[in-house]
A and B are shown apart, each in its own frame.
Chain A
Amino acid sequence: MKETPLSNCERRFLLRAIQERKRLDGRQCYDYRNVRISFGPEHGCCVVELGKTRVLGQVSCELVPPKPNRATEGILFCNLELSPMAAPGFEPGRQSELLVKVNRLIERCLRNSKCIDTESLCVVAGEKVWQIRVDLHLLNHDGNIVDAASIAGIVALCHFRRPDVSVQGKEVTVYSPEERDPVPLSIHHMPICVSFAFFQQGTYLLVDPNEREERVMDGLLVIAMNKHREICTIQSSGGIMLLKDQVLRCSKITAVKVAEITELIQKALENDQKLRKEGGKFGFAESIPNQKITAFKMDSAAVDTNNVEEQAEEIITKADPPSEVFAKPILHTPGTAQIGEGIENAWGDLEESEREEAAEEEGESSTTAFECQRTETEDTSMMNEAKDDPIVLSDSEEEEVVILEPQEVPKKTRPQTTLKQESTSKKAFNKKRRKKRASR
């Protein structure tokens, strides 16, 4: 199917809007769209969303004989696919000009920057090396495929674990994941592409163009950089003349964006690793927010919450100190106890320790609820919100909130214990805040 043509009025409107420094989605010129990273059930599988652009990355490995001129080096291979699912204009299996261009750029970004230690992929010199294959699939196209694909590629590589091998004499043993833990690849640095669109012969510049902006742009500059501010690849296309300081400005912007994205990637990776270790739920299904009507699923806009911290502080200081009444449990009969005053306890056979636990857990849950709310409404800038996003999404604590809700019902019958819960929650909250501050 042919792609939808761009009408004259769209083109004119977009150019006029860019002249007035306005973008369709309300971003500023230098704003990046929200980046979201979610991981699949397997190691080495991830989906990166850049606004509505969505790329799936999958890494696999294989033992192959090395190239004759590089006997001690493993092989890294990347491939990007543009399927008609992403946009009706893409044809399956055809090497379009765009596909070739993006593929070469991604290859330069990932392979030629030597971000992966290929020598560590050698098993037997000259005979067996690991071939790492990165498959990237565009699932939805809304512009800036290069950036999304480069992020997906490096995230999938960082997440991937290859099977462990041992060599004894001439014999090579590949261990299954049950026998020996798979080993991660050794990654030197993370190159990330940032795209800049130029309009009117370079007069106007936009970071992270979306699909329509890409269609009306005059030229494109892609800079790949790692967080050490080393440029890995730079490519200018579209045939426009750029001034020296324009390129310099772009590289400065790139450095900022790359630092933000790298931090986000590391956070997402840590989060996923923690979740896997704890045995929590992970995978794509868990990363999708639980909503009944998918039609109402929408990205929430950034909310101005400058004084949230002060408010929280105020609430904490205003709250009464915890009373001491409940410290002594009243033992009615062996096996039945009561904490605090009020009506007869209905929880006959609940042991004291259990109750303590329940109270603590409730405290936890309310804390996390509060915490979630905070993270959701914390930041004003888009990038920061994006940073928090994956943590909120793949957080198993959120699950806890849902599960524990029914437990809050007995609160009403035990007013004193509620107070205690509040205090514990506050303490926990304080602790968390302190941690947060320390990490900042």
Chain B
Amino acid sequence: MAGGGGAPAESRVGQVVLPGDVLLLPAYDEQDTERLPLGTSAAPRGRLLCGPGLRRCAGGLLVTKCGLLRHRRAGDGAAAAGGAYWVDSQQKRYVPVKGDHVIGIVTGKVGDVFRLDVGGSEQASLSYLAFEGATKRNRPNVQVGDLIYGQFLVANKDMEPEMVCIDSSGRASGMGVIGQDGFLFKVSLGLIRKLLAPKCEIIQELSQLYPFELVLGMNGRIWVKAKTVQQTLIIVNILEACEYMTAEQRKQALAKLSGN
């Protein structure tokens, strides 16, 4: 691992990387060996972001998850070394991240806060004041077992994560308690990211079948509601199967379905 050297990060983009792989950053090798002792950090080149599944090490980046290596260039394209690297993995365990929109299940009310299960290692807390229009007197009607769509305000490694159902301007903007009907199920985090990508084909194809409501949480939970139980079940099964289907297989399955 340490002696293995490793491949340049750029050449591995889009390929499978495994934990322990070392990715070299060319700019880092050339410049920083000379510059670091001097202590000057003018940083003329773009800032490099080290995303999920990667860690800094002596030679460059150390991979800590298996998956596909992804890269995004910095916005203005100042230098080649800028941008962000991350590993796109298919894991199922969710780790809270600040700003993520997730679906939580209320497990209890403790004083002024609700306890929510979000699938992480710890339960999240949600103040009853963190709803749109909520005041000390006007409490939101939330029961144990309800679903709540919210976002993380605090998500640190060693602290209890905290959620809110309002954005910075105090508006709900879609967040809050999810209705009593519909069905909740879990898929892998990779599929959720795929579904949440702008202009996702799966969602577009599904929306041509019949109308339905859909909430996607970054923690792998999906809530679906269609007109009938049967229609909801179909959507659930298609989305669950998407994890294993190629685009062509999915199109065939959908074509078969819409033909009936």
Contact = CB atoms under 8 A, between A and B. Distances in A.
A150 to B, nearest CB: 28
Nearest to A20: B229
Contacts of B179: 9
Interface stretch (A171-179, A277-285, A295-303): A295-303
A13 B181 contact: yes
B239 to A, nearest CB: 13
Give the interface size class of chain A. 20 to 34
Nearest to B224: A13
Given A22-B229, A22-B230, A298-B244, A9 B117 contact: no
Interface in B101-148: 105, 107, 117, 119, 121, 123, 143, 145-147
B184 A9 contact: yes
A7 B223 CA distance: 11
Interface residues of B, number: 30
Contact of A9 (B123, B178, B230, B244): B178
Contacts of B245: 296, 298
Contact of A295 (B233, B236, B244): B244
Contacts of A169: none
Contacts of B146: 7-9
Contacts of A13: 181-183, 229, 232
Contact of A10 (B123, B143, B184, B230): B184
Contact of A4 (B119, B147, B183, B230): B119
A300 to B, nearest CB: 10
A1 interface: yes
Interface of A: 1-2, 4-13, 16-17, 20, 22, 24-26, 295-298
Interface string B218-248: 0000010000011011001100010111100
B246 A7 contact: no
A4 B181 contact: no
Contact of B183 (A10, A295, A297): A10
Nearest to B190: A295
Contacts of B178: 9
B11 interface: no
Interface string B143-182: 1011100000000000000000000000000000011111
B64 interface: no
Contacts of B121: 1
